[in-house]
Structure 1
């Protein structure tokens, strides 16, 4: 889990927080939303689902 929990944050590689996703980690889930339109909805993942996604990104499965 990241250093911040229970609060929204943007990744370090974001473009000054202008066009990025925000993430919030809690003890139960990982929440992801668009920082430009937070009212548009939030995706919710279990910690296990998030771990698989992050591993897949690191493995190059989602390289863009």
Structure 2
């Protein structure tokens, strides 16, 4: 689990500084949005969905 919960945060290793997606973890879900346009909408994932995504990134399923 990340260090912050119930707060929006930008990844520490963001190459764009504060121009990035931001994430918020709660007890029930993981929220992801564009920090420059938060009004554009928020993607919501279960913790299982988020874990599967993170594992896929680590396994090289995505070109990031």
TM-score, structure 2 normalization: 0.94
Q: What is the rounded CA distance, in whole Å, between the counterparts of 1:58 and 1:25 in structure 2?
A: 19
1:3-60 residue CA offsets vs partner (Å, 9 max, x unmatched): 100000000111221x210000000000000011000000000000000000000000
Q: How many residues are matched? A: 63
Give unmatched runs, 5+ long, in structure 1: none
Q: Name the SS for the 1:33 alignment partner.
A: strand
Give unmatched runs, 5+ long, in structure 2: none
Please tell me whether residue 27 in structure 1 is matched to residue 30 in structure 2: no
Q: What is the rounded CA distance, in whole Å, between the counterparts of 1:21 and 1:13 in structure 2?
A: 12
Please tell me whether residue 7 in structure 1 is matched to residue 7 in structure 2: yes
The aligned counterpart of 1:16 is 17
The aligned counterpart of 1:46 is 46
Q: Which aligned segments of 4 or more residues in structure 1 are displaced greater than 3 angstroms? A: none
Give me the CA root mean square deviation: 0.8
